[in-house]
Amino acid sequence: MDARELAVRAEYRVAIEDGDDWRAAIEHVADTEGVSAAWFSGTGTVRDADVWHYDPTADEHRAVRFDEPLTVATCVGDVSVDDGDAVARPYAVLTRPSGQAVGGYLNAATAVEGTIQLRSFEEGTNQS
């Protein structure tokens, strides 16, 4: 286990606009603002989605594509830096007009609209 003390650096409200890629919009804000560690949550609407699920037997991620309008009932995740670029890991619960829910790792989705609250952190020195 690796636990680190984090201090809040800044908080951002991210308005995801029609046509934006949901995950790319979060990564863009993180890159632009120099965010290296963050947590986010959000809601909104997308018109399609690529949702990944991990298959431990095959040791790989498998994609499921949804080509339909979906409500982002909740989306949570974190941001870190990999090879100098911000990487967002969004996990979402998406609902269909029927009320049926689908979810998983939201690899890509074209936004209709959305709002993300992103809290960035400065790494502390305490580790346990």
The predicted-structure confidence for 23-67, as pLDDT tens digits, reads as follows 999 999 999 999 999 999 999 999 999 999 999 999 999 999 999
Tens digit of pLDDT for each residue in 64-104? 999 999 999 999 999 999 999 999 999 999 999 999 999 99
pLDDT of 6 reads: 84
CB atoms closer than 10 angstroms to residue 76 = 14
Does position 123 have pLDDT exceeding 80, yes or no? no
Does position 126 have pLDDT exceeding 60, yes or no? no
Beta carbons of 93 and 46 less than 8 angstroms apart: no
Q: In order of start, what are the domains of the chain with their CATH numbers? A: 23-121 (3.30.1330.80)
pLDDT of 5 reads: 83
Please give the Cα distance from 78 to 18 (Å, whole number): 23
Tens digit of pLDDT for each residue in 5-18? 889 999 999 999 99
